Structure 1
Amino acid sequence: MRTAVEYGLHDPEDSMEIACAAAETAGASVQALSSTWSLYTPQDAAAVASALFIQLRHGADALTELTRSVGRIIERGEAELRAPAGPGQPANLADALAALRTVSETIHGLVDRHGSTTVRALHAAPGTAPLPGSAHETVVAVAALLTEQSSLAVTLNRRHPDGAYEDADDGFGWAATSRSPATTRSTASTEGTASGRSTGSRTGGSNPTAPPSSAPGRP
């Protein structure tokens, strides 16, 4: 979308494609918000409301520009503007242009009256959801939920003592943690055992995949 705008929108094909893309985006917003966990806090709702009000304002501006575009078609002599239809008659081009202007003005008025106050109220509303403050807290919270929902025994293995964890907050969701001496000894013991098995397989013992020294029936 941004690339198309930067490249330039000049012909009817561009106008129709962008309008259709905007309609699909609006429909996707409805689908996203219909999820049970679409939002966590009133502040999330404030951000979405702000975007939707801006979308409404742009939609109203688009209706105004659509009215002007039809006016340019009329000025070029490629359409005829007649008097508005009378009672009981089907709407004509003049009625359509009047309706476009009325809808645009109505949307602008609603957004101007309710947009800012609604967003501020949502943003100021207190939220009670216990949100984790780091990746470590997120993992602990998920483990706690699994413990509550599981019918089996769940054991949480701690790889560092309490207070030894430091959140590096590097933006990638995981931070470095310091390992306790017990964990270090356990790791070293495991590595030593694995090293011993590997050395033994190289220095001694039989190789089950090696061919026998002599085939049956041969001297």
Structure 2
Amino acid sequence: MDQSGRHDDRAPEAAHAPGAAGPDGVVALARTAARTTDTLAASLQDDWALYTPGQAAAVAAELFAQTASVARALHGLAGVLTAMTGPDGPARADDHRAGAGDSARAHDAGRYDTAYEAGRYDANRYDARADAVRHLATAAEELAYTLRHAPPATAALRDAPPARALPLNAHETLAGVAALLGEDAVLNQRHRPGDYVIVGESPDGYGCGCDVDFRHAGEEWNFHRSDSAWSLVRVSDGIPAADGTLAYTRFTDLTVTDETAHPAHVAAQIGAALSRLVREPVQGGWREPEPPPARR
């Protein structure tokens, strides 16, 4: 386990392959890492991004690990800048990351630090790279210092009990959603109580086969598990089949897909979907509903 509180399973040989990616590859890696972190940050703006403190602990551990990696990367970048001597590239690629380098360059960096602290910095006399190295190293050290918060934060989250028990399978999720959709909601149970014993995701993605009927805005709606998705249909859109059942060609699939999703999360998404599908009065007229997409 590393300083961030998570297990470090990276391959050592990959972490120490000098110049393996090349300049273009290194820049691409940095951009990819930034985009990935931005995506995670955007995902965490959703109140339903995580359900339990244990899940938050896992994300926190990875974020602290990422912070440690960023600190190492900043130190590495400072080392690369220190080693740059011109068109011939690094003078001593084997030791510049350990703080070494040719004595003239080290002497110049020392003269820069003395002049900077005395307020006599001359941009024309001293290499601007020394300024960048100083700031990069300081940033790396400050980031590394924040890692002291990792063990207590992740430990506290792992020890915190969840606010409520989560569903074990699709049937428990449907039952929980039905309880949140109002008094008129009916859970249509398609199996005997206790017969559905699958824990987690069902092998075929269709769950237990049960569904929920409910009323909203004067219309009948049905909520069910379809092909690896939670789906909402308007009953009046159903096409009668020969066996008396209704067939549907248009569905509204929720963005949450887990069979063990938090029932309140699922109910919130149903409410959001209904607000798009139902014709409602607004100032100056009516907001027309969006037609549900056809199932491909």
What is the TM-score when the length of structure 2 is the normalising length? 0.50
Shift of 1:175: 5.9
Structure 1: distance between partners of 2:122 and 2:60: 37
CA distance, structure 2, for counterparts of residue 48 and residue 21 of structure 1: 19
Asked if 1 retains the 8 angstrom alpha-carbon contact of 2:179 and 2:185, the reply is no
Instruction: Verify: 1:93 aligned to 2:119, yes or no.
Output: no
Match of 2:146 in 1: 110
TM-score (norm 1): 0.65
SS for the counterpart of 2:190 is coil
| SS state at 2:161 partner | coil
CA-to-aligned-CA distance 1:157-196 (integer Å, 9 cap, x gap): 222332333327675355678xxxxxxxxxxxxxxx96xx
CA RMSD of superposed structures (Å): 3.3
Show the counterpart of 1:206. none
Question: Structure 2: which 5+ runs fail to align?
Answer: 1-9, 91-104, 210-241, 244-296
Which residues of structure 1 form unaligned runs of 5+? Answer: 178-192, 195-219
The one-letter code of the counterpart of 1:21 is T
Residue of structure 1 equivalent to 2:173: 138
Aligned residue for 2:182, secondary structure, equals helix
2:196 pairs with 1:161? no
- Higher mean Cα deviation, 21-30 or 136-145? 136-145
Task: Tell whether the 8 Å contact from 1:50 to 1:115 is kept in structure 2 after alignment.
Answer: yes
| Superposition deviation, residue 137 in structure 1 | 0.8
Gap change, CA 1:15 and 1:155, over 3 Å in 2: same
Measured in 2, the distance between the counterparts of 1:175 and 1:109 equals: 47
2:22 to 11, 16, 28: 11
1:56-205 → structure 2 map (5 Å cutoff): 56-74=67-85, 83-84=112-113, 86=116, 87=119, 89=121, 92-111=128-147, 113-147=148-182, 153-167=184-198, 172=203, 173-174=205-206
The 3 A distance-change label for structure 1 pair 142 and 98 is same
Higher relative contact order (CA 8 A, sep 6+): 1
Residue 82 of structure 2 contacts residue 130 of structure 2 at CA under 8 Å; is this kept in 1?
A: no
Q: CA deviation at 1:49?
A: 0.3
Q: Secondary structure at the match of 1:156?
A: strand
SS at match of 1:147: coil
- Tell me the amino acid that sits aligned with residue 140 of structure 1: A
Contact 2:75 2:136 in 1 (8 A): yes
The number of aligned residues is: 171
Change in 2 beyond 3 A, CA 1:75/1:116: farther
Deviation at 1:106, TM superposition (A): 2.0
Paired-residue identity, %: 34
1 CA distance for matches of 2:165 and 2:122?
58
Residue 6 of structure 2 aligns with which residue? none
